[in-house]
Amino acid sequence: MAEPDTDMPEPPRAQRPKSRLFWRVLVALSLALNVLVLGAALGLFLSGGPERGERPGAELRAAGRLPTAMMLPQDARQDLRARLRDGPADFAQSRGEERDLLRQIDRVLRADPLDRDALTGLFETRRALRQTRAEAVDQALIETLAAMPQAQREAFADRMAKRKLRKEGRGHDRKYPEHKHRDGDKQRAPYD
């Protein structure tokens, strides 16, 4: 019988854990990178894309008209978007102006002493800028509504009325619903 070759050294056991550690670190880094990429893609999808600020929905939201626009039929919403996109108002420029105003407001707020007159002027300028944008959005909405057939306008009016009723039901009545009084009679909540 041949004896096993004892001259051949065994691989040291210390190298095995290093090899396992390397693979564990590599898998952890790969997983972290995958989560990062997935999070970035999901964030981009949920925000509406890289040109989010350029969408007409941003102007509708800023003017407080997004809920109203969402009640329009799909074709009327597309018409409204086209009117806002092709209209005379340059929303991207006005957003840039508002960002500049916010920077100026920040500088005035951080100055010591506070220049009340400058702050008041900046707030008035910002209010006028927002008012101009809101008027442009309102005009586009009016033109869109005027272009709709009578039946669609009536359906739109019905949706607005239902929304108003739903909103009215969210206030005091939800906070203080009717409840049984001690003697069993239904009583409205106080302050009705």
Q: What is the pTM of this model?
A: 0.51
Other C-beta atoms closer than 10 Å to the C-beta of 98 total: 16
Lowest mean pLDDT among 84-88, 133-137, 157-161, 182-186: 182-186
pLDDT at 145 over 50: yes
More confident residue, 20 or 18: 20
In the predicted model, what is the mean pLDDT of residues 37-53? 70
Sign of CA dihedral 167, 136, 77, 45: negative
Residues 63-101 have pLDDT tens digits of 677 778 888 888 888 888 888 777 766 676 777 888 899
Angle between the N-to-C axes of helices 91-110 and 116-147, in degrees from 0 to 180, rounded to the nearest 10: 160
pLDDT at 53 over 50: no
Residue ranges of domains in the chain? 53-170
Other C-beta atoms closer than 10 Å to the C-beta of 39 total: 10
Burial of 84: CB neighbours in 10 Å, binned 0-12, 13-18, 19+: buried
